[in-house]
Structure 1
Amino acid sequence: MSDLGALSYYLGIEVRLGKEALILVQTAYASKLLERSSMAECKPCMTLMEERLKLTKASTTAKVDATLYRSIVGDLRYLVHTRPDIAFAVGYVSRFMEDPREDHWAAVKWLLRYIKGMVD
């Protein structure tokens, strides 16, 4: 067995050792998520969700690529480990993974814009 030194990176989570705290961040993971979703150059926003957003499974808007939607939402669910501020919004958009529509995708894009503004 060999000593590899202090832990600094594990499963996409950066570990920073402070004097009094252990800090877990996923800055690189969030940046890669924005690139995969083609939102790396988007305009950041400071709010997590649109105010009074009402999404339903009975939406009549156009369908979106379900595989892409599920992939992005799954990545967001992994990001929740170090970003509890997005937990409610990610849970909300997760409800529509069976049959995602344009309005559901718009909510995910809004969330990605929030992440762009709060990567650190």
Structure 2
Amino acid sequence: MAECKPCMTPMEERLKLTKASTVTKVDAILYRSIVDGLRYLIHTRPDIAFAVGYVSRFMEDPREDHWASMKRLLCYVKGTVDQGIVFPKIGGSRLQLTVFSNADMAGDIDG
């Protein structure tokens, strides 16, 4: 992954993965290890939180299609390694945080 081409988004648009995938299995230990590292990274990179949560659903029995999504996420992290979110306090104004949520869980097939 050190030589991967950086991606501009952490996941493909309208990606639909399922636990019932029938493609080839991948090394579950390696998959879990990478997910654990990404979960730690979420503390400073909330922009990858949804994608990490999505790929972590398949830690029990990861397949090639799940692995491909993981690799794309790693390419995104590589391309944005020097980016971060800053919430500056300007003057005496109060910080206001606005949050939005997708009610259908992004069309989760297994949900």
Equivalent residues in 2 for 1:37-56, closer than 5 Å? 39-56=1-18
Structure 1 position 82 matched with structure 2 position 44:
yes
- Cα deviation digits, residues 65-86 of structure 1 (max 9, x gap): 0000000010000000000000
C-alpha displacement at 1:115, in angstroms? Answer: 0.5
Equivalent residues in 2 for 1:52-71, closer than 5 Å? 52-71=14-33
**What code does the residue aligned with 2:62 have?**
P
TM (normalized to structure 1)? 0.67
Count of aligned pairs between the two proteins = 82
TM (normalized to structure 2)? 0.73
Q: Unmatched 5+ residue regions in structure 2?
A: 83-111
Structure 1 position 105 matched with structure 2 position 67:
yes
CA separation in 1, counterparts of 2:73 and 2:6? 10
CA separation in 2, counterparts of 1:49 and 1:43? 14
How much identity, in percent, do the aligned residues show? 84
Looking at secondary structure, tell me which structure has more strand per residue: 1
CA separation in 2, counterparts of 1:48 and 1:99? 21
C-alpha displacement at 1:47, in angstroms? Answer: 1.1
**What code does the residue aligned with 1:93 have?**
V
Aligned-residue CA RMSD (Å): 0.5
RCO higher in structure (CA 8 A, sep ≥6): 2
Partner of 1:91: 53
